[in-house]
Amino acid sequence: MTVARETKTGTARPPFWRDVKVLRIVAQLVAGAGSVALLWYLGSNLTTNLTAQGISTDFGFLDQPAGVTVPGSDFRSSQPISDILVLGIKNTFALVIVGIPLLTILGTLIGIGRLSSNWLVRKAATAYVETLRNIPPLLVIIFTNTAVILASLPRIQEAWQPFDLFVLSNRELAVPWFTAGDGSGAYLGVLAAGVVASIAVWIWRTRQFDATGTPHHRFFWGTGVFLLFAVVGFFVIGNPYSLSRPELEGLVITGGISNISAYFAVLLALVIYTASHVAEIVRGSIQAVAKGQTEAANALALSSFQRLRFVVLPQAFRIAIPPLINQFLNFTKNSSLAIAIGYSEITLVVFQAIGNGQPAPQLIIILMGAYLLFSLSISLLINILNRRLQLVTN
Amino acid sequence: MIKRLLLLVVVLAMVATACGGDGAEEESTTTTAADGGSQVAAEGILKTVQDRGVLNCGVNQEVFGFGFVDADGNFVGFDIDYCKAVAAAVLGDADAVEYKALTAQQRFTALQSGEIDVLIRNTTWTATRDGGEGATFLTTTFYDGQGMMVNSDSGYTTLEDMANTTVCVQSGTTTELNLAARFESGGIPFTALTFDSNDELRPAFVAGQCDGWTSDKSQLAAFRSQNPPADGGPEAWTILDETFSKEPLGPLVRDGDSQWAQVVDWVVYATIQAEEFGLDSGNINSYSGDNAEIKRFLGQPNEEGTIFDPGLGLPTDFAVMVIDAVGNYEEIYNRNVGPDTALGLARGVNDLWTRGGLLYAPPYR
């Protein structure tokens, strides 16, 4: 039968208007052309109507002075709008880069807690997930801002300064940070060399383990080598970095690293909110690992930590990664809610500019482009990781 | 989030305006485009509003005295009264108004897209807004200026005292721009915390997150008067003397329909002219004098029995309907923001030109 069909298609193809192969390509082309035409039609309508109303449709406004300042930065109002947009993207990035690792760790811990054999831990984790997952993130942000920042922290005039290491107030929060001294560039070079060396040691230990079966302890070896470089380099170069403590002088915090309290309110709110979703993903992924795997680990007399660390979690994460990407993207997109409490991320900056008389359509397009950039970059990074972790099945 | 969504919808609506085939607004847009933007379309906003039977008025809902929702859920205030005045003149019914509460950031997009017919939302007239927002600013109804409010026990008496302070300001406002300009030119280091709405700004100011709250002085007076005793009452807050900007507030309409602009303009003039003539909501219906100017203004027939019609597209007795519904300028002012209200604002420059103020209506003839 297969042979018969092959000979049939081979000898006498149907006419092109009935040829599925041709029709498929034509359908694709028609759909594509239709979409382009629709977009072009809408775009030209927008341009015509805006021009008729005397509203500019170009991007020349980007060179105009922004006219406003940005809290937590030394942005001056005479700088152009393009600069303030870049600053907005940086501020969004500052949320994402700190938030995603935090929410992953917190979510994983709570997800594991959901499956704990300890009644209290299990119920507490369930309560956490069921509460936070069912509250809109905007409310969580407003709650952390009003209850945690505004109501719990003192004014900057009476800021808490525990151990003289931190400055905590409802206006700004500051923690100690490193300041570069002489030879800091050289020290960074030494640290980079340390990273290279520890990777080399890691690979060597892994090969050793594969060849002989002796325990590799590659984590301890790798960290040890890096720390060796870090410590020896520090003393050889002679204090390339020193710790700077934040100090409060009047209303100004000098030294350390500080940010406005709205940043911490948004960060805290979105981390605990998104972690509740991540916890469910982690729990589901752990339960999706075949029961036989756990039983096999028990049969090998692995401790419960070893069972989780070496058998269950590696397989669970493989299942968890695709839905995790969604949560990371949600975190990024929800960061736009920071506009409610005045953290100058990209959305606030764009709407500020629109309110100050700059054209809305162009700015909204820029805003959409910025979020697309964030989302696609995160997807790309995690998809690479995903591909590396996938089970090799050939 | 809702606000952002709304704005997006509005932008999309602008796109869709040209695709759809109904409504008179886009007809006017296309006609204007074809005529090079110089001519008024046959079917303007005035006709659209009259056909619809209701005026869409963009307003504030957060500023006591100007645009505010009272305990019964009604919009009240100085700006609201002007919405009613326009509705009374155009539709003969001061209550035929659909109020659209807008944030500072949404207002211009709402106006451009035709969601509202007129924007009366304490909006400052500036060159960029006139030029770039596709809006036409009309007669100023309230001459204001920017001020700074601080805690009474903070010890600040001038802006120069406020070095290194944090100032709360509503985003997308002229006050935000003036703040940066004033402090930077004065060499005063400061931080500006911007908020989407005053509802979120207020708790930040109360908690001491910012040292100062800057806005139009009338708005600051409004918020100060509404400070509850739990937060120390009005006395806990002080408005500094310095006024560091000009903030002429008034109604504005979309560019490209001069007939509609004239209608709104003359409604405002009517309230000013009525005060100048000494007419108010109490006596306007019973005027029986023989002052020719007043008779013309009220649309009463002259000796020959003819009624003056300036051709604004309004009923000849529109002034009577406006004053009957909301009163003259003085009544509107005193009812909402005047000395006997919680705001307690003196007339100041918002007085008739005959008394040394800035209010001046062109002759109605």
Nearest CA in chain B to A362: B11
CA distance B272 to chain A (A): 30
Residue A158 has pLDDT above 50, yes or no: yes
Question: Percent of chain B at pLDDT above 70?
Answer: 88
Contact A52 B203 (CB under 8 A): no
Locate B360 and state its tokens: 């001046």
For residue A88, the model assigns a pLDDT of: 92
For residue A174, the model assigns a pLDDT of: 86
Q: Mind listing the pLDDT tens digit for each residue in A364-379?
A: 999 999 999 999 998 8
Contact B14 A348 (CB under 8 A): no
Residue B101: which H helix or E strand, with range? strand B97-101
Judgement on whether residues B240 and B332 belong to the same structural domain of the protein: no
Residue of A317, A312, A309 lying closest to A107 (CA atoms) = A317
HSE of A35, CA atoms in CB hemisphere, 13 A:
5
Lowest mean pLDDT among A56-65, A99-108, B109-118, B182-191: A56-65
Judgement on whether residues B78 and B162 belong to the same structural domain of the protein: no
Task: Give φ, ψ of A134 to 5 degrees.
Answer: -110, 20
Query: Is A284's Cβ below 8 Å from some Cβ in B?
Result: no
Of A42, A138, A351, which has the smallest distance from its Cβ to B171's Cβ?
A: A351
Q: Is the ipTM of this complex over 0.90?
A: no
For residue A310, the 8-state DSSP code is I
Per DSSP, the three-state class of A258 is strand
Q: Are A140 and A368 in contact (CB under 8 A)?
A: no
Judgement on whether residues B70 and B198 belong to the same structural domain of the protein: no
Residue of A177, A160, A180 lying closest to A248 (CA atoms) = A160
Judgement on whether residues B225 and B238 belong to the same structural domain of the protein: yes
Judgement on whether residues B309 and B345 belong to the same structural domain of the protein: yes
Judgement on whether residues B234 and B223 belong to the same structural domain of the protein: yes
Locate B364 and state its tokens: 């109605």
Pairing assessment for the beta strands B146-151 and B212-216 based on DSSP bridges: antiparallel
CA distance B255 to chain A (A): 6
Contact B180 A77 (CB under 8 A): yes
Judgement on whether residues B262 and B363 belong to the same structural domain of the protein: yes
Nearest CA in chain B to A252: B164
Which residues, numbered 9 to 28 in chain A, qualify as contacts with chain B under a Cβ-Cβ cut-off of 8 Å? none
Q: Name every chain A residue with its beta carbon within 8 A of the beta carbon of B194.
A: 68, 71, 342, 344, 348, 352
Query: For the purposes of burial, counting CB atoms within 10 Å of the CB of B212, is it exposed (0-12), middle (13-18) or buried (19 or more)?
Result: buried
Of B17, B174, B208, which has the smallest distance from its Cβ to A170's Cβ?
A: B208
Domain boundary (B244, B271, B286) is at B244
If you search the block for the tokens 């947009």, which residue do you land on? A85
* CATH code of the domain containing B363: 3.40.190.10
Q: Are A336 and A330 in contact (CB under 8 A)?
A: no
Judgement on whether residues B136 and B283 belong to the same structural domain of the protein: yes
Residue B192: which H helix or E strand, with range? strand B190-195
Q: Mind listing the pLDDT tens digit for each residue in B76-107?
A: 999 999 999 999 999 999 999 999 999 887 88
Domain boundary (B182, B216, B244) is at B244
Residue B2 has pLDDT above 60, yes or no: no
Query: Is A199's Cβ below 8 Å from some Cβ in B?
Result: no
Judgement on whether residues B254 and B137 belong to the same structural domain of the protein: yes
HSE of B203, CA atoms in CB hemisphere, 13 A:
17
CA distance A378 to chain B (A): 23
Mean pLDDT of chain A: 86
* Domains: count for chain B: 2
| Structural domain range at position B153 | 146-244
B219 within a domain of the structure (yes/no): yes
Residue of B80, B133, B90, B97 lying closest to B251 (CA atoms) = B80
B349 within a domain of the structure (yes/no): yes
Q: How confident is the model over A323-333, as a mean pLDDT?
A: 91
- Write out the DSSP string of B106-156: THHHHHHTTS-SEE-SS-B--HHHHHHSSEEE---SEEE-EEEEEEGGG--
* Gap between the Cα atoms of B101 and A229, Å rounded: 63
Query: For the purposes of burial, counting CB atoms within 10 Å of the CB of B151, is it exposed (0-12), middle (13-18) or buried (19 or more)?
Result: middle
For residue A393, the model assigns a pLDDT of: 59
Domain boundary (B190, B217, B244) is at B244
Size of chain B, expressed as the number of residues it contains: 365
Q: Which residue has better confidence, B4 or A329?
A: A329
Locate B181 and state its tokens: 């300009």
* Gap between the Cα atoms of B165 and B212, Å rounded: 8
Judgement on whether residues B162 and B185 belong to the same structural domain of the protein: yes
Contact B172 A344 (CB under 8 A): no
Please, which residues bridge with residue A33 across strands? none
Judgement on whether residues B156 and B227 belong to the same structural domain of the protein: yes
